[in-house]
C-alpha cells in the first residue's frame, strides 16, 4: 500500500468553464454565478467562468477533510477534478500520488465516489443495482454487507423508484463503499436525509475513518463539518478563505458582545480599549479575547451603574466564519 | 474466481481489516477479464431493464415482424417484386434491415437517453468501467436479441422455395455485424440530440425513414433511375443492405467492395460524431 502522508495533494488548482473571457469584475462574478447554475444543467456558459481560482490543500491519510461553502462556491467543481471526472484548467492534483484523470484506471479501484446527484436505473431493485455495481468493482464487498452498512438491507427487493430520497442517498453511499475504498469522496452525503438517517451516516463515516479510510467530504451543513471533520476548508468564490481544524477556523474568528445602552448613556462613555462599534444605541464589540473584554465591560457597567439591555456574548464559531463570508458578499445571501 | 456469484469466498468479513488492493502490475495483466466482468454486469442489468419495459421489448421483438407483415400486405401497391429479385428475397433481406433499424437503432436510443437522464451514465463514469465499456454494456442485450432474430430470419428464409442458403455467408455476416455496429453507434449519436425517452420516437425518424426509403426495402434499387440509385447507394444504410443482399442472394447490384468501404466510412463517421456530441450529463 502507498504510504504517502497525503492521499490528496492540490496545488494551484484552477478550473474554468466555457471560453476564456475574464470574470474579475463584480458584474462578472454575478454573471459567473448564473454560469455555474447553467453548468449544473449540463451546459457551459458562453462567457466563460472560473469556478475554482487557485486552490492549495492536502488531505492526510486517515482523516476526514471537509470542504465547506455556499452553493456556487466551487466545491463540486473542485471535487470533480479530484475524482478524475474533469481535467484542471491549471494547477496540479494528485490522489494517492497519481493523476486522477490520466491514471484513472489505477486510481479508480482504490477510491469510492458518491456524487451530489448520482443515479441508478429506477426499474432495478436495490439488490439488482448492487449486483450491477459490484460487478464493476475490483474486490467488491458482499452485497448484503454493503447494504447493511447503510441500513437498507431490508429494502433489497424494492425497486429504486420506490425508495425515498434518503434511501436513495444511502444506496448511493453503499455503492461508493462497495470496493473498500482507501479514499472516499462524498459530495453532500446527507442532503435529503431525515435526522436519524443523518446521525447513522455520521456514525458510519466515523467508523470508516477509524478503520483507516481517508474521506473528502463536501457539505453546506456547518454542524456536519464541525462534528465530522478533522480538518476543513471554507471555500468562497472559488478560493479557500479559511482552513484548519474546526477549532482553529473558529478561533480565527472574533467573538462578539452585543448589548443596548440605556437612555442617556452615549457610546463615547464606553472604555476606548473595548473598540466598540455603535449602530444607534446597539453596540457590538468584536474581540479575540472574549473573557478579558467581557470582564472589562462588566466592571465598567457595575462602576457606572449602567444596566446593559439585551446583553449577549458569543464565542467564535464556524457559523460566525460562515456568516462573515455572507456579510462580505451580500449578493450571495440568496444562495445560502 | 467466479464472476456469477455475488459473495466471493475470498471476500473479507466486515470486521476484518481492509484488504490490500492488488498492486498496479497485477491488475494491469487482467484488463480483459475485468473488462468482461464489468460488461457482463452492465449487460445483465440492461437486460433486466429491457424485459421490464414493455414498450422497448415490443419494439425490439415484435415490431420487425409486424413491419415485414406490413410490407407483405403492401407488396402489390409498392410494387415490391418489380425488379430483379423475387418478393421472398426482398422480404427476407428487408426483415434483416428491419431488425437492425428497430431492434438495435430504435431500441437503443431511449435506452441511452433513459440512462443519461436518470444520471446512471454519470454515476457509472465514477467507477472503474471505461466510457466505451459503459456504452457497449448498455447495447449488449439489444444487439444479442437482434443477432438472434437475424439468425432465425436467415434459417427460416433459406427454407423458402424461392430462396437459397446464403451464397456468400462471409458478406452476409459482414453486413449484419457492420449494420449492428453502425446502428448502435448511430443510436448513441442520436441520443445526444434526444431530450427525453418519449422524444426518442421522433428523433429516430429521420434515419429510420431515410433508411427505409433508400436502401431497397420499399423499392428495388434497379428499378430506379441510375443517378438516383447511385445517390441512394451512398447513404448510410444502403451499403449495409447491399452487403446483405450480396451475401444472401449474390444479387442486388452494386459494387461489394464499395459497399463495404462506405459502410465502414459511415460507421467511423458515427463514431466521430459520438466523440464530438455525445453527452454524459442529463439535459433535464
Q: Indicate yes or no: CB of B130 within 8 angstroms of CB of A137.
A: no
- The pLDDT value recorded for residue A47 is 58
Most confident range (mean pLDDT) of A237-251, B40-54, B156-170 is B40-54
| Whether the Cβ atoms of residue A220 and residue A69 lie closer than 8 Å to each other | yes
| Residue from the list A105, A108, A180 with its beta carbon closest to the beta carbon of B18 | A180
- The pLDDT value recorded for residue A326 is 67
Confidence at B14, pLDDT banded by 50, 70, 90: very low
Would residue B104 count as lying in a domain?
yes
Percentage of chain B with pLDDT > 90?
A: 73
Q: Which of A179, A116, A132 is nearest to B122 (CA)?
A: A116
Please state, in angstroms and as integers, the Cα–Cα distance from residue B250 to each residue in B37, B158, B233, B245, following that order: 40, 14, 17, 6
Least confident of A37-51, B48-62, B87-101, B146-160: A37-51
**Residue written as grid cell 459473495:** B7
Disruptive mutation site among A84, A99, A115, A121 for chain B (greatest number of B CBs within 10 Å): A121
* pTM (predicted TM-score): 0.82
Would residue B18 count as lying in a domain?
no
Confidence at B25, pLDDT banded by 50, 70, 90: very low
List of chain A residues whose C-beta atoms are within 8 Å of the C-beta of residue B27: 109, 138
Rounded distance between C-alpha atoms, residue B147 and residue B143, angstroms: 6
- The pLDDT value recorded for residue A251 is 81
> Which residues, other chains included, contact A316 with Cβ-Cβ below 8 Å and sequence gap of 6+?
A250, A251, A252, A253, A254, A255, A290
- The pLDDT value recorded for residue B265 is 97
Rounded distance between C-alpha atoms, residue B150 and residue B270, angstroms: 23
Q: Indicate yes or no: CB of A113 within 8 angstroms of CB of B126.
A: yes
Rounded distance between C-alpha atoms, residue A253 and residue A318, angstroms: 8
Q: Which residue has the higher pLDDT, A258 or B26?
A: A258
Rounded distance between C-alpha atoms, residue A308 and residue A305, angstroms: 9
Number of folded domains that form chain B: 1
Q: Indicate yes or no: CB of B6 within 8 angstroms of CB of A182.
A: no
Disruptive mutation site among B19, B36, B120, B138 for chain A (greatest number of A CBs within 10 Å): B120
Q: Indicate yes or no: CB of A83 within 8 angstroms of CB of B120.
A: no
Across the range B208-215, mean pLDDT stands at 94
- The pLDDT value recorded for residue A53 is 92
Q: Indicate yes or no: CB of A108 within 8 angstroms of CB of B14.
A: no
CB pairs under 8 A between A and B: 123
List of chain A residues whose C-beta atoms are within 8 Å of the C-beta of residue B48: 123-124, 128
Distance from CA of A80 to the nearest CA of B (A): 10
- The pLDDT value recorded for residue B253 is 63
Across the range B27-46, mean pLDDT stands at 81
Would residue B59 count as lying in a domain?
yes
Would residue B174 count as lying in a domain?
yes
List of chain B residues whose C-beta atoms are within 8 Å of the C-beta of residue A105: 31, 128, 130
Q: Per-residue pLDDT for B6 more than 60?
A: no
Q: Per-residue pLDDT for B180 more than 70?
A: yes
> Which residues, other chains included, contact A22 with Cβ-Cβ below 8 Å and sequence gap of 6+?
A28
Q: What is the pairing mode between strands A111-114 and A90-95?
A: unpaired
> Which residues, other chains included, contact B52 with Cβ-Cβ below 8 Å and sequence gap of 6+?
A123
Within 13 Å and on the Cβ side, how many CA atoms surround A246? 16
Q: Per-residue pLDDT for B105 more than 80?
A: yes
Would residue B191 count as lying in a domain?
yes
Q: Which of A171, A102, A136 is nearest to A92 (CA)?
A: A102
Q: Per-residue pLDDT for B44 more than 60?
A: yes
Q: Indicate yes or no: CB of B18 within 8 angstroms of CB of A145.
A: no
Tell which A residues from 75 to 104 touch B, by Cβ distance under 8 Å: 83, 85
Q: Which domain holds residue B127?
A: 35-74+81-277
- The pLDDT value recorded for residue A221 is 87
- The pLDDT value recorded for residue B276 is 95
> Does the interface ipTM go beyond 0.95?
no
Rounded distance between C-alpha atoms, residue A13 and residue B196, angstroms: 36
Rounded distance between C-alpha atoms, residue A116 and residue B247, angstroms: 52
Q: Hey, what long-range contacts does A77-82 have (CB within 8 A, 24 or more apart)?
A: A77/A15, A77/A17, A77/A36, A77/A51, A77/A52, A77/A238, A78/A10, A78/A13, A78/A15, A78/A52, A78/A235, A79/A185, A79/A187, A79/A216, A79/A218, A81/A13, A81/A15, A81/A52, A82/A8, A82/A10, A82/A185, A82/A216
Split chain A (336 residues) into runs of 10 and give each run's mean pLDDT.
Answer: 76 83 37 38 57 94 92 90 94 96 95 90 97 94 95 96 91 95 94 88 94 93 90 92 89 86 87 86 88 93 91 84 68 42
Q: Indicate yes or no: CB of A108 within 8 angstroms of CB of B120.
A: no
Q: Indicate yes or no: CB of A117 within 8 angstroms of CB of B119.
A: yes
Tell which A residues from 172 to 191 touch B, by Cβ distance under 8 Å: 172, 175, 179-180, 182
Q: Hey, what long-range contacts does B118-121 have (CB within 8 A, 24 or more apart)?
A: B118/A119, B118/A120, B118/A121, B118/A122, B118/B282, B119/A115, B119/A117, B119/A118, B119/A119, B119/B282, B120/A119, B120/A120, B120/A121, B121/B280
- The pLDDT value recorded for residue A299 is 93
Helix extents (H) in chain A: 26-40, 75-82, 104-107, 126-135, 143-150, 165-177, 195-210, 222-228, 246-251, 290-304, 318-328
Disruptive mutation site among B123, B197, B281 for chain A (greatest number of A CBs within 10 Å): B123
List of chain A residues whose C-beta atoms are within 8 Å of the C-beta of residue B115: 121
| Residue from the list A117, A144, A211 with its beta carbon closest to the beta carbon of B18 | A211
What DSSP designation does B224 have? S
Q: Does B122 touch chain A (CB under 8 A)?
A: yes
Rounded distance between C-alpha atoms, residue B69 and residue B91, angstroms: 9
Edge-to-edge, what's the strand order for the sheet holding A277-279? A277-279, A282-287, A255-260, A309-314
Q: Indicate yes or no: CB of A142 within 8 angstroms of CB of B53.
A: no
Confidence at B252, pLDDT banded by 50, 70, 90: low
Cell numbers found for residue A308: 446593559
> Which residues, other chains included, contact A253 with Cβ-Cβ below 8 Å and sequence gap of 6+?
A316, A317, A320, A321, A324
Which chain A residue's Cα is nearest to B19?
A: A180
Most confident range (mean pLDDT) of A327-331, B9-13, B14-18, B239-243 is B239-243
Would residue B23 count as lying in a domain?
no
Q: Indicate yes or no: CB of B21 within 8 angstroms of CB of A120.
A: no
Q: Does B120 touch chain A (CB under 8 A)?
A: yes
Distance from CA of B18 to the nearest CA of A (A): 6
Q: Which residue has the higher pLDDT, B143 or A284?
A: B143
Cell numbers found for residue A200: 447513522
Q: Does A143 touch chain B (CB under 8 A)?
A: yes
Across the range B65-82, mean pLDDT stands at 88
| Whether the Cβ atoms of residue B136 and residue B39 lie closer than 8 Å to each other | yes
Would residue B21 count as lying in a domain?
no
Would residue B146 count as lying in a domain?
yes
Cell numbers found for residue A218: 463536501
List of chain B residues whose C-beta atoms are within 8 Å of the C-beta of residue A139: 11, 19, 21-22
Cell numbers found for residue B143: 444487439
- The pLDDT value recorded for residue B254 is 65
Tell which B residues from 7 to 26 touch A, by Cβ distance under 8 Å: 7-8, 11-12, 14, 17-22, 24
Rounded distance between C-alpha atoms, residue A114 and residue B126, angstroms: 8
Q: Per-residue pLDDT for B19 more than 60?
A: no
> Which residues, other chains included, contact A209 with Cβ-Cβ below 8 Å and sequence gap of 6+?
A62, A63, A64, A215, A230
| Residue from the list B8, B53, B279 with its beta carbon closest to the beta carbon of A42 | B279
Q: Indicate yes or no: CB of B7 within 8 angstroms of CB of A122.
A: no
- The pLDDT value recorded for residue A302 is 93
Amino acid at each position: 500500500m502507498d504510504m504517502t502522508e497525503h492521499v490528496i495533494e492540490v496545488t494551484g488548482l484552477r478550473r474554468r468553464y466555457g471560453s476564456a473571457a475574464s470574470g474579475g469584475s463584480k458584474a462578472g462574478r454575478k454573471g459567473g454565478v448564473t454560469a455555474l447554475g447553467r453548468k449544473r444543467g449540463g451546459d457551459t456558459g458562453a462567457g466563460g467562468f472560473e469556478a475554482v481560482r487557485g486552490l492549495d490543500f492536502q488531505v492526510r491519510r486517515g482523516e476526514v477533510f471537509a470542504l465547506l461553502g455556499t452553493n456556487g462556491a466551487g466545491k463540486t467543481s473542485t471535487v470533480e477534478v479530484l475524482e478524475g471526472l474533469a481535467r484542471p484548467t491549471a494547477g496540479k492534483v494528485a490522489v494517492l500520488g497519481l493523476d486522477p484523470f490520466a491514471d484513472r484506471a489505477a486510481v479508480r479501484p482504490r477510491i469510492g465516489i458518491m456524487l451530489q446527484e448520482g443515479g441508478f436505473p429506477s426499474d432495478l431493485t436495490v439488490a439488482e443495482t448492487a449486483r450491477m455495481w459490484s460487478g464493476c468493482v475490483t474486490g467488491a464487498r458482499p452485497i448484503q454487507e454493503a447494504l447493511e452498512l447503510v441500513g437498507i438491507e431490508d429494502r433489497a427487493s424494492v425497486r429504486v423508484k420506490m425508495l425515498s430520497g434518503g434511501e436513495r442517498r444511502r444506496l448511493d453511499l453503499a455503492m461508493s463503499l462497495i470496493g473498500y475504498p482507501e479514499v472516499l469522496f462524498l459530495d453532500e452525503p446527507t442532503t435529503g436525509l431525515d435526522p436519524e438517517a443523518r446521525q447513522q451516516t455520521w456514525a458510519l463515516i466515523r467508523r470508516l475513518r477509524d478503520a483507516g479510510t481517508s474521506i473528502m467530504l463536501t457539505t453546506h451543513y456547518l454542524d456536519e463539518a464541525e462534528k465530522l471533520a478533522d480538518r476543513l476548508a471554507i471555500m468562497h468564490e472559488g478560493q479557500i478563505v479559511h482552513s484548519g481544524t474546526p477549532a482553529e477556523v473558529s478561533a480565527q474568528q472574533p467573538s462578539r458582545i452585543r448589548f443596548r445602552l440605556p437612555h442617556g448613556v452615549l457610546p463615547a462613555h464606553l472604555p476606548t480599549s473595548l473598540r466598540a462599534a455603535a449602530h444607534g444605541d446597539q453596540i457590538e464589540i468584536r474581540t479575540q479575547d472574549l473573557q478579558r473584554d467581557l470582564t472589562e465591560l462588566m466592571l465598567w457597567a457595575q462602576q457606572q451603574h449602567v444596566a446593559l439591555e439585551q446583553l449577549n456574548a458569543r464565542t467564535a464559531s464556524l457559523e460566525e466564519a460562515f456568516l462573515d463570508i455572507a456579510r462580505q458578499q451580500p449578493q450571495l445571501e440568496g444562495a445560502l | 474466481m467466479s464472476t456469477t456469484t455475488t459473495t466471493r469466498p475470498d471476500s473479507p468479513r466486515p470486521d476484518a481489516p481492509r484488504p490490500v488492493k492488488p498492486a498496479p502490475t497485477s491488475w494491469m495483466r487482467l484488463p480483459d477479464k475485468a473488462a468482461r466482468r464489468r460488461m457482463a454486469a452492465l449487460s445483465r442489468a440492461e437486460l433486466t431493464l429491457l424485459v421490464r419495459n414493455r414498450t422497448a421489448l415490443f419494439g425490439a421483438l415484435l415490431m420487425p415482424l409486424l413491419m415485414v407483415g406490413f410490407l407483405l400486405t403492401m407488396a402489390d401497391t409498392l410494387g415490391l417484386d418489380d425488379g430483379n429479385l423475387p418478393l421472398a428475397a426482398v422480404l427476407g433481406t428487408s426483415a434483416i434491415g428491419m431488425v437492425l433499424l428497430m431492434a438495435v437503432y430504435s431500441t437503443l436510443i431511449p435506452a441511452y437517453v433513459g440512462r443519461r437522464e436518470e444520471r446512471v451514465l454519470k454515476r457509472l463514469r465514477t467507477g472503474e468501467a471505461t466510457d466505451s465499456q459503459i456504452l457497449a454494456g448498455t447495447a449488449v442485450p439489444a444487439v444479442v436479441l437482434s443477432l438472434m432474430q437475424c439468425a432465425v430470419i436467415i434459417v427460416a428464409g433459406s427454407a423458402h422455395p424461392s430462396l437459397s442458403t446464403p451464397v456468400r455467408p462471409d458478406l452476409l455476416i459482414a453486413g449484419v455485424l457492420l449494420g449492428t455496429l453502425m446502428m448502435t453507434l448511430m443510436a448513441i449519436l442520436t441520443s445526444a440530440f434526444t431530450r427525453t425517452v418519449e422524444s426518442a420516437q421522433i428523433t429516430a425518424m429521420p434515419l429510420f425513414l431515410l433508411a427505409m426509403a433508400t436502401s431497397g426495402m420499399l423499392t428495388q434499387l434497379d428499378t430506379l433511375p441510375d443517378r438516383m440509385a447511385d445517390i441512394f447507394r451512398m447513404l448510410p444504410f444502403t451499403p449495409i443492405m447491399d452487403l446483405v443482399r450480396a451475401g444472401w442472394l449474390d444479387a442486388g447490384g452494386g459494387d461489394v467492395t464499395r459497399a463495404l468501404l462506405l459502410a465502414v466510412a459511415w460507421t467511423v463517421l458515427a463514431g466521430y460524431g459520438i466523440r464530438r456530441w455525445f453527452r454524459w450529463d442529463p439535459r433535464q
